[in-house]
Structure 1
Amino acid sequence: MELTDVEFDGPLAQRGIGVIAPFDLALERELWRWAPLEVTFHLARTPFEPLPVSLEMAQRVSDVSALQTATRELLGVEPEVVAYLCSSGSFIHGRDGEIALADAIRAAGAPDAVTSSGALAEAVTTLGLQRISVITPYDAPLTDRLVAFLGELGVEVVTAQHLGLGGGIWRVNYRTVAELVCAADDPASEALFVSCTNLPTYDIIDPLERDLGKPVLTANQLTVWSCLDRLGLPMMGPGRWLGEVFGR
């Protein structure tokens, strides 16, 4: 039998993105929704830490040796870029610390590297943001570190709202997140940033942008879009402002 049917062509050439996730990430499904068909995510996790979400946990999950070990675990499938998918772990030591994490991932063999907070920095520059509001599921001390990180980028945080959660962040419903975003909005803020890669946001971005009339940026959105930009692939998913910038 001669296989000439088009059904036997392919598969579509795969483009790999390596993802280093904190041990408690529960939103892998949300990542796939941001990506075009040819993209595959390959995940490795940081070691389990019996700690609540806190300054200490952010420091533990951003341990350089653990991130480099996770990077090497991903190299066998030849990802084109490796992302450290964690907001708090990548802003906990400020902008210099974030840059050092990306450098460490490259030093472990990744062709290129992105962190969630580095992706936020790229979006701030791309959109020319100077004043934003932030929303986090964290406690106040960890939220303050995000405010300090943005300050290093030259961004004023107009308002900050936080949920004060120590765990189970992936269980927060959309209404709770949306209400917090609306509470954080201020006429002086040019955009809103929802931190934490474990906080569900995908389906509420478009309606919130429509109602508030400004960008609503989220951790998973920015991290995946930063990876796709490096791969030269189209931006997917909700987000009017970033979609226009990246030509979606």
Structure 2
Amino acid sequence: MTQPATTRRPDWTHRLGLLVPSVNTVVERDLRLSLPDPVSAHVARIPITRDTPEQLAALADAAPGATRLLAHAAVDSIVFACTSGSLYHGPGYDTAITERITEVAGVPASTTSTAVVAALRSLGLTRVLLVTPYEPWLDELVVAFLGAHDIEVTGTSGPALPDPLDTASVPPQAIADAVGDLGRAEGVFVSCTAFRGLEAAGILRERLGVPVVASNEATVWDGLRLAGRGPDAFPPDGYAALRR
């Protein structure tokens, strides 16, 4: 197990660590938009350029090496910040990734898919509309993963983009506009840490008046919970509704 290089603290009290897909250009932006004070965020990148089965499957194997470097920053928690990459092999795959991270860094860990399930449960959601940038085969994996956690996906929508750089270029308004009639759904889940779902979530909450969870919101929320930050640390939009 790698020991943190130092535990000295300057003027912040919590350090959040994230393992981010190398092609992702949205996570750092969302951290700037949402991270509460006094918290600092520290990122290590894991290699992927497209959402292919081969590259998604390889992400977990790259996590321990990136974790060793991230541990040098004496982070308080680490989240594997990729939704599809952390559920690629189905239920329990996220837990296996978390265990590998904790073994290396010696700090609490989570994954985005783990965090999403926790966030949806915290809001009491059992039926959700799913909005993603994924191709259909990847949507199916998300639906199956949520279903294994007793969360029913009542419908899916999104632009079906295999290139994460294209995913990042979709405006939040366009993401929100992909949501039509809620039907039986109790809320909405906007998936993918490379999708501007955090901004779209705010639009959808105002428009629909229902709970909305975005991947990056859940990622930050769970990482800060593990680092010891309570619900009072979060901004009022979105996070405040999430309970410990």
TM-score normalised by the chain length of structure 1: 0.87
Aligned equivalents of 2:195 and 2:18: distance in 1? Answer: 17
* Structure 2 residue corresponding to 1:55, chosen from 53, 56, 65: 53
Q: Alpha carbons of 1:46 and 1:32: their partners in 2 closer, same or farther (altered >3 Å)?
A: same
Q: Which runs of 4+ in 1 moved over 6 A?
A: none
Q: What is aligned with 2:184?
A: 188
* Structure 1 residue corresponding to 2:74, chosen from 66, 75, 78: 78
Q: Alpha carbons of 1:135 and 1:121: their partners in 2 closer, same or farther (altered >3 Å)?
A: same
User: SS of 1:114's equivalent?
Assistant: strand
Which amino acid counterpart does residue 243 of structure 1 have in structure 2? A
Which amino acid counterpart does residue 229 of structure 2 have in structure 1? G
* Structure 1 residue corresponding to 2:65, chosen from 66, 69, 72: 69
Q: What is aligned with 1:235?
A: 234
User: SS of 2:155's equivalent?
Assistant: strand
User: SS of 1:43's equivalent?
Assistant: strand
**1:206 Cα deviation from its structure 2 partner:** 2.5
**1:88 Cα deviation from its structure 2 partner:** 0.5
**1:35 Cα deviation from its structure 2 partner:** 1.2
Identity %: 30
Aligned equivalents of 2:58 and 2:112: distance in 1? Answer: 16
User: SS of 2:91's equivalent?
Assistant: helix
User: SS of 2:40's equivalent?
Assistant: strand
* Structure 2 residue corresponding to 1:218, chosen from 204, 214, 221: 214
Q: What is aligned with 1:137?
A: 133
In structure 2, stretches of 5+ residues that fail to align are 1-8
In structure 1, stretches of 5+ residues that fail to align are 1-9
Q: Alpha carbons of 1:175 and 1:13: their partners in 2 closer, same or farther (altered >3 Å)?
A: closer
**1:24 Cα deviation from its structure 2 partner:** 0.6
Alignment of 1:57-136 (within 5 A): 57-63=55-61, 66-136=62-132
Query: Over aligned residue pairs, what C-alpha RMSD do you find?
Result: 1.8
User: SS of 2:162's equivalent?
Assistant: coil
Q: Alpha carbons of 1:11 and 1:122: their partners in 2 closer, same or farther (altered >3 Å)?
A: same
